[in-house]
Amino acid sequence: MFKLLGGDLVGMTSVPEVVLAREKEMCYANISMVTNFAAGISPTKLTHQEVLDVMAENAENLRKIAMRAISIIDPDRGCLCQDALEKLNKE
């Protein structure tokens, strides 16, 4: 179905984390790692080991991305996250 809609990737949802971060008025970002073709698309049977192997292969890249992002994000950039609920309650 998602392919018919033009999707290239289907991910495990991060919606609960997004909602909880907003409730705590926290900034939130997501980095997703593609580990495998979806069941039904892959020509082979998906295994847990396949996912673990790709995670291990990409762990260092993910660490570098996260560390770089942390180093360049200005904590005083003045985003609206910390006042999100206050603004929501006024509307």
What burial class does residue 7 get, using C-beta atoms within 10 Å of its C-beta: 0-12 exposed, 13-18 middle, 19+ buried? exposed
Give least dist CB 21 to Zn ion, A. Answer: 9
* Interface mask toward Zn ion for 23-62; x: CB under 5 A: ----x-----------------------------------
Contact call for residue 79 and Zn ion (CB under 5 A): yes
In angstroms, the Cα distances linking 42 to 14, 25, 36, 56, 75 are: 23, 39, 8, 20, 42
Among 38, 81, 85, 88, binds Zn ion (CB under 5 A): 81
Binding site residues, Zn ion, CB under 5 A:
27, 79, 81
